[in-house]
Amino acid sequence: MAEMTRRKVKWGVIGSGGIARRRTIPEGIVPAVNSELTAVFDVSPSVNEEVARTYDARPAKSMNGLLESDIDAVYIATPANLHFDQAIAATRAGKHVLCEKPLGMTVSEAKKMMRAADSANVILGTGFMMRFQSQHRAALDMITQGRLGTPVYGRAQLSCWYPPSNAWRQDPAISGGGALIDMGGHCIDLLSMYFGAVAKVSCIVNNSVHDYRSEDSAVALLFYRSGAMGVVDTFFCIPDDASRNVLEIYGSRGSILAQGTIGQNEKGKMYAFLQEADTTYDAQQARAGATASSIAPTPVNTYRAEIGEFSSAILEGRRPSNSAQLGLDSQRVLSACYRSARSGRTVRIH
């Protein structure tokens, strides 16, 4: 892939309302030093005109009109069932693509999207912005350095109150599923960043409170090839203020415990409880209490970081850390989770 000589990537957005309007455009594309917003498209002309006017971009009248413009890259932020066709169209137009998760609706679609990008010699990436949260990165550094010893277990939680509203996430034909694929996808990706590839899963989904067609509740047990285990619990039926959005990582030498780092915010509270030397078995299990060490690196806006990394990869002609492979890996785990929920069995991932 040829390296670009310009210092900024010209971005177009497909689906300029929603998360693009709330977060990715104002916090990511506009302020990123190596990016500029050039054109936007949305199925709502009024929304698109307003976004274009607010951020001094061209309002495209159609997706093809946007793809025929002089943009370098496309950010896709539409409902999940549109990701495949839109990404294929963008790659065929010679545009690099950063697609919000999920990467298509199935493992097969994700693979076809990757092949299309390779054939067009463009970069395809997945929007897992929580990987860029500075405390999540600091935790990864500690694990990589061996400070937690052998990784043993992790838990990631992300929940919210999402009452029936005919929203597209509440229809699996459009979203691919409910709480699991929408919020649980981020949690699964985070734990995979720490523990590596998932070998097998066992999952339960339910409609505990809401009666829409997507699940409002999901708990997944993940077993990693490394031997570590993990749990993801995610709900559309727990009040926002009641969910602490916890992240817990345990190893043979300690733990990292956090609240509020998972989500759209720049920081939460994260502490490490580390044992620097081997100890003997304590029959009384007194648990006098380890000293907590705060993990508080300089906060980073995750949307700016994900756009900055993807733009840098385009300018430098390299693979981005927020690659399409992450999206494919996620789809494999999610597909196995839904198969497990339907069958009541543990499902292996090949």
Looking at the structure, tell me whether residues 232 and 251 fall in a common domain.
yes
286 pLDDT more than 60: no
Task: Let me know if residue 1 belongs to a domain.
Answer: no
Token pair recorded at residue 31: 């302020």
Q: How confident is the model at residue 283 (pLDDT cuts 50, 70, 90)?
A: low
Looking at the structure, tell me whether residues 144 and 126 fall in a common domain.
no
Q: Round the CA-based radius of gyration of the chain to a whole number and report it.
A: 21
Task: Let me know if residue 59 belongs to a domain.
Answer: yes
Looking at the structure, tell me whether residues 244 and 308 fall in a common domain.
no
| pLDDT for the residue 350 | 85
pTM score, whole prediction: 0.94
Question: CA dist 11 to 25, 40, 334, Å?
Answer: 10, 9, 30
Q: How far apart are CA 297 and CA 306, in angstroms?
A: 18
Looking at the structure, tell me whether residues 190 and 336 fall in a common domain.
yes
Looking at the structure, tell me whether residues 242 and 123 fall in a common domain.
no
Looking at the structure, tell me whether residues 26 and 151 fall in a common domain.
no
Q: What is the CATH number of the domain that holds 164?
A: 3.30.360.10
279 pLDDT more than 70: no
Q: What residues make up the domain containing 210?
A: 138-265+267-285+331-348
Looking at the structure, tell me whether residues 342 and 194 fall in a common domain.
yes
- The three-state secondary structure class of 163 is coil
Q: How far apart are CA 150 and CA 187, in angstroms?
A: 21
| pLDDT for the residue 47 | 98
